Amino acid sequence: MSVEIHPTSIVSPKAKLGVNVKIGPFCVIEEDVEIGDNTELESHVSVKRYTTIGSDCKIHEGSVIGGIPQHLGFKGEETYVRIGNNVTIREYVTIHRGTSFDDGITKIDDNSYLMAYVHIAHDCKVGHDTILANAVTLAGHVKIGNYVFIGGLTPIHQFCRVGDYAMVGGASAVDKDIPPYTRAAKNHVLLYGLNLVGLRRRGFSSEQIKILKEAYRILFRKSATIQEGIKEVEEKLPSTPEIQNLIEFVKTSKRGIAPEASKRG
Protein backbone atom coordinates (compact mmCIF):
# COMPACT_ATOMS: atom_id res chain seq x y z
CA MET A 1 0.00 0.00 0.00
CA SER A 2 1.15 3.55 -0.68
CA VAL A 3 2.10 6.26 1.81
CA GLU A 4 -0.67 8.71 2.75
CA ILE A 5 0.44 12.30 3.44
CA HIS A 6 -2.13 15.00 4.19
CA PRO A 7 -1.66 18.00 1.87
CA THR A 8 -1.15 20.37 4.83
CA SER A 9 1.86 18.42 6.12
CA ILE A 10 5.50 19.11 5.25
CA VAL A 11 7.65 16.04 4.67
CA SER A 12 11.31 16.33 3.69
CA PRO A 13 12.21 14.47 0.50
CA LYS A 14 15.17 13.15 2.48
CA ALA A 15 12.92 11.39 5.00
CA LYS A 16 12.44 7.63 4.54
CA LEU A 17 8.87 6.40 4.95
CA GLY A 18 7.91 2.73 5.00
CA VAL A 19 4.93 0.96 3.48
CA ASN A 20 1.45 2.14 4.51
CA VAL A 21 2.72 5.06 6.59
CA LYS A 22 0.01 7.67 7.28
CA ILE A 23 0.84 11.31 7.98
CA GLY A 24 -2.09 13.39 9.23
CA PRO A 25 -2.74 17.13 8.94
CA PHE A 26 -0.15 19.79 9.79
CA CYS A 27 2.70 17.42 10.57
CA VAL A 28 6.37 18.28 9.97
CA ILE A 29 8.83 15.50 9.12
CA GLU A 30 12.42 16.70 8.78
CA GLU A 31 15.32 15.18 6.84
CA ASP A 32 17.28 12.25 8.30
CA VAL A 33 14.08 10.72 9.65
CA GLU A 34 13.04 7.09 9.14
CA ILE A 35 9.50 5.86 9.82
CA GLY A 36 8.66 2.16 9.62
CA ASP A 37 5.80 0.31 7.94
CA ASN A 38 2.20 0.84 9.10
CA THR A 39 3.08 3.70 11.45
CA GLU A 40 0.52 6.49 11.76
CA LEU A 41 1.01 10.10 12.80
CA GLU A 42 -2.11 12.05 13.69
CA SER A 43 -2.27 15.84 13.36
CA HIS A 44 0.38 18.43 14.38
CA VAL A 45 3.15 15.90 15.04
CA SER A 46 6.75 17.08 14.59
CA VAL A 47 9.51 14.55 13.95
CA LYS A 48 12.95 16.17 14.03
CA ARG A 49 16.24 15.16 12.42
CA TYR A 50 18.07 11.97 13.39
CA THR A 51 14.92 10.19 14.55
CA THR A 52 14.09 6.57 13.72
CA ILE A 53 10.57 5.26 14.40
CA GLY A 54 9.76 1.57 13.99
CA SER A 55 6.79 -0.22 12.47
CA ASP A 56 3.18 -0.27 13.69
CA CYS A 57 3.56 2.80 15.90
CA LYS A 58 0.81 5.33 16.63
CA ILE A 59 1.77 8.93 17.44
CA HIS A 60 -1.02 11.24 18.55
CA GLU A 61 -1.64 14.96 18.22
CA GLY A 62 0.93 17.54 19.20
CA SER A 63 3.86 15.25 19.98
CA VAL A 64 7.41 16.41 19.27
CA ILE A 65 9.90 13.61 18.65
CA GLY A 66 13.64 14.26 18.36
CA GLY A 67 13.85 17.79 19.74
CA ILE A 68 17.31 19.04 20.67
CA PRO A 69 18.34 18.33 24.29
CA GLN A 70 17.67 20.78 27.09
CA HIS A 71 21.36 20.61 28.01
CA LEU A 72 23.58 23.69 28.22
CA GLY A 73 26.57 21.70 26.99
CA PHE A 74 24.87 20.60 23.77
CA LYS A 75 26.55 22.18 20.74
CA GLY A 76 24.44 20.83 17.89
CA GLU A 77 26.24 17.52 17.43
CA GLU A 78 24.55 14.63 15.59
CA THR A 79 22.68 12.59 18.18
CA TYR A 80 19.63 10.37 17.93
CA VAL A 81 16.18 9.22 19.00
CA ARG A 82 15.33 5.58 18.31
CA ILE A 83 11.81 4.28 18.83
CA GLY A 84 11.00 0.59 18.47
CA ASN A 85 8.02 -1.22 16.98
CA ASN A 86 4.40 -1.08 18.16
CA VAL A 87 4.99 1.95 20.38
CA THR A 88 2.04 4.21 21.24
CA ILE A 89 2.79 7.87 21.90
CA ARG A 90 -0.20 9.85 23.12
CA GLU A 91 -0.95 13.57 22.95
CA TYR A 92 1.79 16.19 23.49
CA VAL A 93 4.61 13.83 24.37
CA THR A 94 8.13 15.23 23.97
CA ILE A 95 11.19 13.05 23.37
CA HIS A 96 14.61 14.69 23.09
CA ARG A 97 17.77 13.52 21.32
CA GLY A 98 20.78 12.20 23.18
CA THR A 99 24.00 14.07 23.91
CA SER A 100 27.72 13.44 23.48
CA PHE A 101 27.94 13.22 27.28
CA ASP A 102 26.41 9.73 27.00
CA ASP A 103 26.09 7.37 24.02
CA GLY A 104 24.15 9.99 22.05
CA ILE A 105 20.93 7.96 21.92
CA THR A 106 17.53 8.38 23.51
CA LYS A 107 15.71 5.08 23.09
CA ILE A 108 12.19 3.70 23.54
CA ASP A 109 11.90 -0.08 23.07
CA ASP A 110 9.12 -2.15 21.49
CA ASN A 111 5.52 -2.32 22.74
CA SER A 112 5.80 0.63 25.12
CA TYR A 113 2.97 3.06 25.82
CA LEU A 114 3.61 6.71 26.62
CA MET A 115 0.49 8.51 27.82
CA ALA A 116 -0.29 12.20 27.32
CA TYR A 117 2.26 14.87 28.29
CA VAL A 118 5.08 12.43 29.03
CA HIS A 119 8.54 13.98 28.71
CA ILE A 120 11.59 11.85 27.86
CA ALA A 121 14.78 13.89 28.24
CA HIS A 122 18.14 13.40 26.55
CA ASP A 123 19.93 10.06 26.80
CA CYS A 124 17.06 8.22 28.50
CA LYS A 125 16.46 4.54 27.85
CA VAL A 126 12.96 3.06 28.21
CA GLY A 127 12.63 -0.73 28.02
CA HIS A 128 10.09 -2.81 26.15
CA ASP A 129 6.48 -3.39 27.28
CA THR A 130 6.66 -0.41 29.63
CA ILE A 131 3.89 2.07 30.45
CA LEU A 132 4.49 5.68 31.44
CA ALA A 133 1.22 7.25 32.58
CA ASN A 134 0.13 10.86 32.04
CA ALA A 135 2.74 13.57 32.70
CA VAL A 136 5.55 11.25 33.78
CA THR A 137 8.77 13.26 33.46
CA LEU A 138 12.17 11.64 32.93
CA ALA A 139 15.21 13.86 33.45
CA GLY A 140 18.41 13.18 31.53
CA HIS A 141 20.13 9.78 31.52
CA VAL A 142 17.25 7.96 33.26
CA LYS A 143 17.03 4.22 32.59
CA ILE A 144 13.68 2.40 32.81
CA GLY A 145 13.63 -1.39 32.56
CA ASN A 146 11.26 -3.81 30.83
CA TYR A 147 7.64 -4.39 31.94
CA VAL A 148 7.68 -1.31 34.16
CA PHE A 149 4.69 0.82 35.11
CA ILE A 150 5.18 4.45 36.23
CA GLY A 151 2.11 6.23 37.61
CA GLY A 152 1.04 9.66 36.42
CA LEU A 153 2.61 12.96 37.50
CA THR A 154 5.82 11.22 38.59
CA PRO A 155 9.15 13.01 38.04
CA ILE A 156 12.33 10.92 37.95
CA HIS A 157 15.66 12.53 38.81
CA GLN A 158 18.52 12.43 36.31
CA PHE A 159 20.65 9.27 36.30
CA CYS A 160 18.07 7.27 38.28
CA ARG A 161 17.12 3.75 37.25
CA VAL A 162 13.90 1.76 37.58
CA GLY A 163 14.42 -2.00 37.29
CA ASP A 164 12.48 -4.62 35.33
CA TYR A 165 8.90 -5.43 36.45
CA ALA A 166 8.87 -2.55 38.96
CA MET A 167 5.86 -0.35 39.64
CA VAL A 168 6.02 3.27 40.81
CA GLY A 169 2.84 4.86 42.16
CA GLY A 170 1.47 8.12 40.80
CA ALA A 171 2.72 11.52 42.00
CA SER A 172 5.84 9.96 43.51
CA ALA A 173 9.16 11.80 43.40
CA VAL A 174 11.89 9.37 42.37
CA ASP A 175 15.35 10.49 43.47
CA LYS A 176 16.87 7.02 44.06
CA ASP A 177 17.05 3.77 42.12
CA ILE A 178 13.99 1.47 42.24
CA PRO A 179 15.08 -2.20 42.20
CA PRO A 180 13.54 -4.74 39.83
CA TYR A 181 10.34 -6.52 40.89
CA THR A 182 9.52 -3.95 43.58
CA ARG A 183 6.69 -1.52 44.28
CA ALA A 184 7.49 2.08 45.19
CA ALA A 185 5.54 5.23 45.99
CA LYS A 186 5.42 8.54 47.93
CA ASN A 187 7.34 11.80 47.86
CA HIS A 188 10.20 11.15 48.20
CA VAL A 189 9.90 7.60 46.96
CA LEU A 190 9.96 4.60 49.32
CA LEU A 191 9.85 0.83 48.70
CA TYR A 192 6.71 -1.08 49.66
CA GLY A 193 7.60 -4.70 48.92
CA LEU A 194 7.29 -6.61 45.67
CA ASN A 195 5.09 -5.69 42.72
CA LEU A 196 3.07 -8.85 43.31
CA VAL A 197 0.19 -8.04 40.98
CA GLY A 198 2.57 -7.26 38.13
CA LEU A 199 4.67 -10.37 38.70
CA ARG A 200 1.64 -12.66 38.72
CA ARG A 201 0.25 -11.05 35.59
CA ARG A 202 3.57 -11.71 33.87
CA GLY A 203 3.48 -15.38 34.77
CA PHE A 204 5.96 -15.55 37.66
CA SER A 205 5.50 -18.80 39.57
CA SER A 206 4.78 -19.06 43.28
CA GLU A 207 8.30 -20.39 43.81
CA GLN A 208 9.91 -17.49 41.95
CA ILE A 209 7.88 -15.00 43.98
CA LYS A 210 8.70 -16.79 47.25
CA ILE A 211 12.45 -16.52 46.56
CA LEU A 212 12.15 -12.86 45.56
CA LYS A 213 10.16 -12.09 48.74
CA GLU A 214 12.93 -13.55 50.86
CA ALA A 215 15.59 -11.66 48.93
CA TYR A 216 13.63 -8.42 49.41
CA ARG A 217 13.27 -9.09 53.15
CA ILE A 218 16.99 -9.70 53.56
CA LEU A 219 18.17 -6.81 51.40
CA PHE A 220 15.82 -4.04 52.38
CA ARG A 221 14.27 -4.91 55.78
CA LYS A 222 16.59 -7.17 57.75
CA SER A 223 20.14 -6.14 56.90
CA ALA A 224 21.85 -3.15 58.47
CA THR A 225 23.57 -2.35 55.17
CA ILE A 226 22.97 -3.24 51.53
CA GLN A 227 26.41 -4.89 51.40
CA GLU A 228 25.48 -7.23 54.25
CA GLY A 229 22.20 -8.03 52.56
CA ILE A 230 23.87 -8.83 49.25
CA LYS A 231 26.28 -11.21 50.97
CA GLU A 232 23.48 -13.05 52.79
CA VAL A 233 21.31 -13.36 49.67
CA GLU A 234 24.24 -14.75 47.68
CA GLU A 235 25.02 -17.26 50.42
CA LYS A 236 21.51 -18.42 51.33
CA LEU A 237 19.29 -18.16 48.26
CA PRO A 238 19.43 -20.03 44.94
CA SER A 239 21.11 -18.11 42.14
CA THR A 240 18.05 -17.84 39.91
CA PRO A 241 17.99 -15.39 36.98
CA GLU A 242 15.69 -13.12 39.00
CA ILE A 243 18.05 -13.07 41.99
CA GLN A 244 21.03 -12.42 39.73
CA ASN A 245 19.18 -9.52 38.09
CA LEU A 246 18.21 -8.04 41.46
CA ILE A 247 21.69 -8.36 42.97
CA GLU A 248 23.41 -6.93 39.89
CA PHE A 249 21.06 -3.94 39.91
CA VAL A 250 21.73 -3.22 43.59
CA LYS A 251 25.49 -3.67 43.24
CA THR A 252 25.71 -1.22 40.34
CA SER A 253 23.55 1.53 41.84
CA LYS A 254 25.18 4.97 41.77
CA ARG A 255 22.22 7.04 42.95
CA GLY A 256 21.56 4.69 45.85
CA ILE A 257 18.52 2.48 46.44
CA ALA A 258 15.23 3.99 47.60
CA PRO A 259 14.65 3.35 51.35
CA GLU A 260 12.27 0.70 52.58
CA ALA A 261 9.09 2.23 53.99
CA SER A 262 9.23 0.30 57.27
CA LYS A 263 12.63 1.83 58.03
CA ARG A 264 11.19 5.33 57.71
CA GLY A 265 8.55 4.82 60.37
What burial class does residue 205 get, using C-beta atoms within 10 Å of its C-beta: 0-12 exposed, 13-18 middle, 19+ buried?
exposed
Q: Please pick, among 60, 96, 122, 141, the residue that the annotation labels catalytic.
A: 122
122 is an active site residue: yes
Contact 37, 18 (CB under 8 A): yes
Maximum CA pair distance of the chain? Answer: 66
User: Please, which residues have CB within 8 angstroms of residue 259's CB and are 6 or more apart in sequence?
Assistant: 176, 190, 191
18 is an active site residue: no
User: Please, which residues have CB within 8 angstroms of residue 234's CB and are 6 or more apart in sequence?
Assistant: 247
Q: Please pick, among 56, 109, 123, 164, the residue that the annotation labels catalytic.
A: 123
What phi-psi label fits residue 193: left (phi over 0), alpha (psi between -120 and 50 degrees) or beta? left
Query: How many angstroms separate the Cα of 61 from the Cα of each of 3, 110, 131?
Result: 19, 20, 19
Q: Which of 142, 255, 216 lies closest to 208 in space, CA to CA? A: 216
Contact 139, 123 (CB under 8 A): no
Three-state SS for 226-244 is: HHHHHHHHHHHCCCCHHHH
Q: Which residues are catalytic?
A: 122-123, 140
